[in-house]
Each structure stands twice: as C-alpha cells, then as structure tokens.
Structure 1
Amino acid sequence: MLYLIGLWESVREFIATGGNVLYFVAGALFLMWTLMIERYWYLTSVFPGIRKKIISDWEARTDTTSWYAHRIRDAWISQASDGLTARLLIIRTLVAMCPLIGLLGTVTGMIGVFETMSTQGTGNPRLMAAGISMATIPTMAGMVAALSGLFFSSRIEAKAKMLKESLIDSLPHH
C-alpha cells in the first residue's frame, strides 16, 4: 500500500513539474493502449473462431468455382479484413498525436519561461529552470508514449495482415 502511495506521489510530482498538458498525453496514451489491447484480444481470441466459420462455410459449399462463388469468397474475405483492421487507423493517429501534444506542452512551458523573464528578469535561474522543465518534460512524455505505441501497433498491423493472408490461402478457388 505504501508503495502505491509513493508511486502516486511520484506521478503527481511529475505532472506538477511537466504541467497540465501531461494529462492530455496520459489520456491519449490510455486510449491508445486500450485500443491496442482490444485489437490484440480480437486477433488472438475472436478472429480464430470467425476464420473457422468462414472456412467451414466455404468448404460446405458445393459450388466454389463459379463467378458467383468467387464474389461470395471475396465478400467474406473483405468482411474479415474489415474486422482485422478495425480501429488501427485510430491507433496510428493517437501514436502520431502524442508527440504533438508533447510539443504543445513545450510551447506552453516556454511561454511560462518568457512570462517569468518579463516579470522577474533573467536574474532568477531557479524560476527559469522550472519553466524549462515544464517545457521539456511534456515533449519527452509525448515521445515515450508514441514510441511505446509505435512498436506494438506495428506488430498488431503485421499480425492482422498475416491473418488475412492466411485466410485467403485457406479458401482455395479453383
């Protein structure tokens, strides 16, 4: 319990040092990871059942060679592909937004530095250092958030592509 309290205090201190923009970075990070976990769950738990049903429906057909049968096959593959790639665009957008949100924190932090300089002058380095850390911490947080999402989202996209290709190979057309 004391560990969690200490951890919470560290997070609060980090946010106080980096500014309120870190709440937006945290929100984007939370949404991005929620969507990536959902996609991983879909690819590993839900899609295998869908794949089996599509393959069994295809093998149960008596006609797999006509033009009409090929259109049905293409429609099933297209529906499966839509399910595999759902929400990947949102995830990629959130990955791209994280550094930009961090950059917003940099701008607001630098505004704070310039405000301090205009009211206090350049003689108080401690006040300027607080503004500079408020300018750099959100940038770092945005970059770390984007990097964490970039690796895992590219893995999820590669897995979705592999599963689609595997489904296509499992539905022979003669």
Structure 2
Amino acid sequence: MLFLMDIWDSVRGFMAAGGDILWLVAGVLFVMWVLMLERYWYLNWISPKEHKAIITAWEAREDSTSWYAHRIREAWLSQAKQDLTARMLLIKTLVAICPMIGLLGTVTGMISVFDVMAVHGTSNARMMAAGISMATMPTMAGMVAALSGVFFSTRLDAKMKISLEKLKDSLPHH
C-alpha cells in the first residue's frame, strides 16, 4: 500500500510540475487507449464470431456465381470492413493531436517564464525553472503519447487488414 502511495505522489508531482496542459494530455491519452483496447477486444473476440457467421451464410447460399451473389458478397465484406475499422479514424486523430497539445503546453509554459521575467527580472532562476518545466514536460508527454499511439494503432490497422483479407479469401466466388 505504501508503494502505491509513493507512486501516486510521484505522478501527482509530475502532473503539478507540468501544469494544467499535462492533464489534458493525460485525458487524451486515456481516451485513445480505451478506444485502442476496445478495438483489440473487438478484433480478437467479436469479429472472429461475426466472420464465421458470414462464412457460414455464404456457404449456405446455393448461388455464389451470379451478379447478385457478388453484390451480396461485396456488401457483407463492406459491412465487415466498416465494423473492423470503426473508431480507427478517431484513434488516429487523437494520436495526431497529442503532440499539438504538448506544444500548447510549451507555449503556456513559456508565457509563464516570460511573466516571471517581467515581474521579478531575469535573475531569479528558481522562479523561471517552474515555467520551463511547464514548457518541456507537456511536450515530452505529448510526444510519448503520440509514439505509443502510432505504434499500437499501426499494429492494430495491420491486424485488421489481415483479418479482412482472410475473410475475403474464405468467401470464394467464381
């Protein structure tokens, strides 16, 4: 329990040193990861069942060669693709926004530094240090959040494409 309290104190200190923008980065990161975990869950547990149902329905059809059968196949594949890629655009947008929010933290931190310089002069390094940490920490956090999001969303995207290709291969048409 004491270990958890030490971790919480460290996180709280980090967030306080980084300023209010760091909380915004944390919120965006949380939403991004919730959405990515939901997509991983869907890809690994829900979509295989749905794809199996599509394959079973396709194999149960007597006609798989007519123009109508091809349109039905295309519609099922399109629906499967739409279900697989749901919320991926939002995830990619959140990944792209993370560095921008970090840069917003840089701007607000530098404004704080300039404010200290205007009020107390340039000789007070301790007071300027708080503004400098408010300028650098959100940028670092935004970049780390974006890098983790890029890596995992790219892997997720690749897995989705493979899953869709496997489904296409399972629905033969002649």
Q: TM (normalized to structure 1)?
A: 0.99
Q: Percent identity, please.
A: 67
Match of residue 49 from structure 2: 49
Deviation for aligned residue 1:130: 1.4
Instruction: Deviation per CA, 1:114-166: give whole Å up to 9, x if none.
Output: 00000000011111111111100000000011111110000000000111111
Pairwise mapping of residues 129-148 of structure 1 onto structure 2 (< 5 A)? 129-148=129-148
Q: CA RMSD in A?
A: 0.5
Unpaired segments of 5 or more residues in structure 2?
Answer: none
In 2: Cα distance, 1:49 partner to 1:128 partner: 58
Match of residue 63 from structure 1: 63
SS at 2:63's partner residue?
A: coil
Instruction: Deviation per CA, 1:32-81: give whole Å up to 9, x if none.
Output: 00000000000000000001000010000000000000000000000000
SS at 1:110's partner residue?
A: helix
Match of residue 84 from structure 2: 84
Match of residue 122 from structure 2: 122
In 1: Cα distance, 2:84 partner to 2:161 partner: 8
In 1: Cα distance, 2:154 partner to 2:161 partner: 11
Unpaired segments of 5 or more residues in structure 1?
Answer: none
Match of residue 98 from structure 1: 98
In 1: Cα distance, 2:144 partner to 2:134 partner: 16
Match of residue 113 from structure 2: 113
Deviation for aligned residue 1:93: 0.4
Match of residue 33 from structure 2: 33
Deviation for aligned residue 1:109: 0.2
